[in-house]
Amino acid sequence: MNLNIFNKLSLLLIILLASCATLKEQNPYLLVYPNLEGDYRYGEVVLENENVILQKLIVGAGQWEGIHSHPGNQLYVHIRGGEWSGKLDGEFEYYGEIDQDGSVGWMDAIPESAGHNSGNTGDNDIELIYVTLKKDTPLYPQNKKNTYSSINQSLELLFENERLIAHRQKLEPDQWHNTHNLPGDQLYIFIKGGQWAFKKKGELYNSQLYKAGSAGLMKKNTSEESFKYGNTGSLPIEVVWVTLK
């Protein structure tokens, strides 16, 4: 009887490992957290195109992700921050580090053989989005400095390297921001959601309610005609902008 139970558990473990490997083979840019159950193991793809993929993941309080790899060229954005601890090959690399809502960081490639494992050692769930770049080189190498549109002016700089630049923007109720000549390849991720709208020639259009963790892509606009986007709700909105280089 005990032998049968052992055999069944071994078979389930083999099936689990095989399913994780199959998913990684189908899309090598996705993370798989083997210790988490159900949909939490694979997360949710919230946006994907030929250049980038955005994957939302939730790690519950007291949970460890399990040993996994990272493809590199990744920016992580905390929708709901918390207390992280990390291990390499079974040994603590760090313990009890706090990341706030809206904080970001860069993740280089980590092979599975390194024994990388992160855990939520706090009291609340952590929710984050990984922005994974599909290409190993910049999209616009001819313009390394990159002249960014007015959408990024006067915003809080969170992170910058040769691949992307990340800013945080806060909009109070009825606060608007003028912009024009958008370069495209700009992602927006809502840390605090709300009623988000646009104005063109003074006319309100495309007003939508966005939840925290919603994400999208701002299309390229080379027109010299400016437009506004703003907060038409009753609560503050917080957005992280990620501009690909």
Q: Residue for token digits 């709300």?
A: 194
Architecture per CATH, 28-133: Sandwich (2.60)
228: confidence class by pLDDT, cuts 50, 70, 90:
confident
All structural domains of the chain with their residue ranges: 28-133, 150-244
For 13-49, letters b (16+ CB in 10 Å) and e give: eeeeeeebeeebeeeebbbbbbebeeebbbbeeebee
Average pLDDT on 227-239 reads 94
Question: Three-class SS string for the chain?
Answer: CHHHHHHHHHHHHHHHHHHHHHHHHHCCCCCCCCCCCCHHHHCEEEEECCCEEEEEEEECCCCECCCCCECCCEEEEEEECEEEEEEECCEEEEEEEEECCCCEEEECCECHHHCEEEEECCCCCEEEEEEEECCCCCCCCCCCCCCCCHHHCCCEEEEECCCEEEEEEEECCCCEEEECCECCCEEEEEEECEEEEEEECCEEEEEEEECCCCEEEECCECCCCCEEEEECCCCCEEEEEEEEC
5: confidence class by pLDDT, cuts 50, 70, 90:
low
Q: And the tokens for 222?
A: 């080379």
178: confidence class by pLDDT, cuts 50, 70, 90:
confident
143: confidence class by pLDDT, cuts 50, 70, 90:
low
Please determine, for residue 207, whether its predicted confidence score (pLDDT) is greater than 70. Answer: yes
Please determine, for residue 144, whether its predicted confidence score (pLDDT) is greater than 80. Answer: no
Please determine, for residue 115, whether its predicted confidence score (pLDDT) is greater than 90. Answer: yes
More confident call, 199 vs 222: 199
Give first-to-last CA distance, the chain, whole Å.
60
What percentage of the chain carries pLDDT values higher than 90? 69
Average pLDDT on 197-206 reads 86
Report the relative pairing of strands 194-200 and 164-171 from DSSP bridges. Answer: unpaired
Cα torsion through 68, 77, 42, 214, rounded to 10: -170
CATH H superfamily, domain 150-244:
Jelly Rolls (2.60.120.10)
Please determine, for residue 99, whether its predicted confidence score (pLDDT) is greater than 70. Answer: yes
Amino acid at 164: L
Neighbours of 3 (CB within 10 A): 7
Contact indicator for 209, 238 with CB cutoff of 8 Å: no
